[in-house]
Amino acid sequence: MKFGHSLIISSLLCFSTLQAEEIRIAASDLLAKFIEAPLLKFGAEHEIVFDIDGIGSLPALDRLRANEVDLAIIAVPRGSEVPRDEFNIFPFAYDAAIVAVHENNPLIEISLAQLAGIFGSNEESNFNTWGDLGLSGWGNRSIKMLSGAGGDSIALELFKHSAFRQGTMKSSVTVVSPREVEGLIGSDASSIAILSKMPTQQNVKVLMVSPDARSTAFGPSNDNVHYGDYPIRLAFYIAYNQRNSSRLERVIRALLGDEVATSLRSHDMLPLPDTVRQKLLADLDFEE
Predicted local confidence at residue 140, as pLDDT: 87
Given a contact cutoff of 8 angstroms between Cβ atoms, the answer to whether 105 and 186 are in contact is no
Percent of the chain's residues with pLDDT above 70 = 91
Predicted local confidence at residue 153, as pLDDT: 76
Whole-angstrom distance, CA of residue 7 vs CA of residue 219 = 60
**HSE-CB for 225 with a 13 A CA cutoff:** 23
Whole-angstrom distance, CA of residue 152 vs CA of residue 159 = 15
pLDDT in tens, 170-203: 999 999 988 899 999 999 999 999 999 999 999 9
Predicted local confidence at residue 151, as pLDDT: 63
What's the pLDDT band for 18 if we cut at 50, 70, 90?
A: low
Percent of the chain's residues with pLDDT above 90 = 79
Buried b (16+ CB within 10 A) or exposed e, 170-180: eeebeebebee
What's the pLDDT band for 13 if we cut at 50, 70, 90?
A: very low
Would 18-95+233-283 and 98-226 be classified into the same CATH topology? yes
Three-state secondary-structure class, residue 275: helix
Q: Structure pTM?
A: 0.88
Q: Select from 115, 73, 99, 97 the least CA-distant residue to 234.
A: 97
Predicted local confidence at residue 72, as pLDDT: 98
Residue 15 has pLDDT above 60, yes or no: no
**Strand locations in the chain (E):** 21-28, 48-55, 71-76, 88-96, 98-102, 109-111, 144-147, 174-175, 191-195, 204-206, 208-210, 233-240, 270-271
Predicted local confidence at residue 236, as pLDDT: 97
Q: How many CB atoms lie within 10 A of CB 237?
A: 20
Residue 56 has pLDDT above 80, yes or no: yes
What's the pLDDT band for 167 if we cut at 50, 70, 90?
A: confident
Predicted local confidence at residue 136, as pLDDT: 86
Given a contact cutoff of 8 angstroms between Cβ atoms, the answer to whether 208 and 218 are in contact is yes
For residue 19, report the phi and psi dihedrals to the nearest 5 degrees.
-80, -15
Domain range 98-226, CATH architecture:
3-Layer(aba) Sandwich (3.40)
Return all residues near 5 (Cβ < 8 A) that are at least 6 apart: none
Whole-angstrom distance, CA of residue 218 vs CA of residue 81 = 23
CATH class belonging to 18-95+233-283: alpha beta
Residue 150 has pLDDT above 70, yes or no: no
Whole-angstrom distance, CA of residue 70 vs CA of residue 233 = 27
What's the pLDDT band for 19 if we cut at 50, 70, 90?
A: low
Whole-angstrom distance, CA of residue 234 vs CA of residue 46 = 32
30 conformational bin, left if phi > 0, alpha if psi -120 to 50, beta if neither: alpha
pLDDT in tens, 61-104: 999 999 999 999 999 988 889 999 999 999 999 999 999 999 99
**DSSP3 helix / strand / coil % (the chain, rounded to 5):** 40, 25, 35
Mean pLDDT, rounded, of the chain: 90
pLDDT in tens, 227-243: 999 999 999 999 999 99
pLDDT in tens, 118-148: 999 989 999 999 999 999 888 889 999 999 9
CA dihedral 173, 175, 178, 180 (to 10 degrees): -90
Residue 288 has pLDDT above 80, yes or no: no
Predicted local confidence at residue 285, as pLDDT: 66
Residue 276 has pLDDT above 60, yes or no: yes
> What residues does each domain of the chain span?
18-95+233-283, 98-226
CA dihedral 266, 268, 269, 274 (to 10 degrees): 60
Residue 192 CB-density burial (10 A; 0-12 exposed, 13-18 middle, 19+ buried): buried
